[in-house]
């Protein structure tokens, strides 16, 4: 069975703080994809990153970074120097490697950044 757990329901930080959103997944597949999506207050789902299970390199994109560790089945997301505009719900998701399979989402973490 496939499952994604985001244990942090809500996180509140003050601007410029660093924050890490945790994601733990379960799968028996050896090949799979992991994703992070952002859902701002406006409601749309914005793609942030896709990671193939064979690629454990960490990735940095501006203030965003992702730490993928197969040994602990985790795919954590860190925002450095958070900003108010980062306030949103963040979803981690898992997808099997077969063509066209659907995303399995975690419950999401609501991040609130205050000024």
Partner 1 sequence: DAGVIQSPRHEVTEMGQEVTLRCKPISGHNSLFWYRQTMMRGLELLIYFNNNVPIDDSGMPEDRFSAKMPNASFSTLKIQPSEPRDSAVYFCASTPGQSYEQYFGPGTRLTVT
Binding site for partner 1 (CB under 8 A): 33, 35, 37, 43-45, 47, 50, 52, 91, 97-108
Alpha-carbon distance of 89 to 112, in angstroms, equals 9
The nearer residue to partner 1, 21 or 82, going by C-beta atoms, is 21
Smallest separation (angstroms) from partner 1 to the CB of 82: 24
The nearer residue to partner 1, 47 or 84, going by C-beta atoms, is 47
Smallest separation (angstroms) from partner 1 to the CB of 57: 17
SS3 for 54-73 is: CCCCCEEECCEEEEEEHHHC
Of 97, 96, 93, give the one whose Cα is nearest residue 105.
93
Smallest separation (angstroms) from partner 1 to the CB of 65: 18
The nearer residue to partner 1, 53 or 76, going by C-beta atoms, is 53
Smallest separation (angstroms) from partner 1 to the CB of 18: 25
Of 31, 29, 28, 23, give the one whose Cα is nearest residue 7.
23
106 near 92, Cβ under 8 Å?
A: yes
């Amino acid at each position: 069975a496939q499952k994604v757990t985001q244990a942090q329901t809500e996180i509140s930080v003050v601007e410029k703080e660093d924050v890490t959103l945790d994601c733990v997944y379960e799968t028996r597949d050896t090949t799979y994809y992991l994703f992070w999506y952002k859902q701002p207050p406006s409601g749309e789902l914005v793609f942030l990153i896709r990671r193939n299970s064979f690629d454990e390199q960490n990735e940095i994109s501006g203030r965003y970074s992702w730490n993928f560790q197969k040994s602990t089945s985790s795919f954590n997301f860190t925002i450095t120097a958070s900003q108010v505009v980062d306030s949103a719900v963040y979803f981690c998701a898992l997808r099997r490697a077969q063509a066209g399979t659907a995303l399995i989402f975690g419950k999401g973490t609501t991040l609130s950044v205050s000024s």
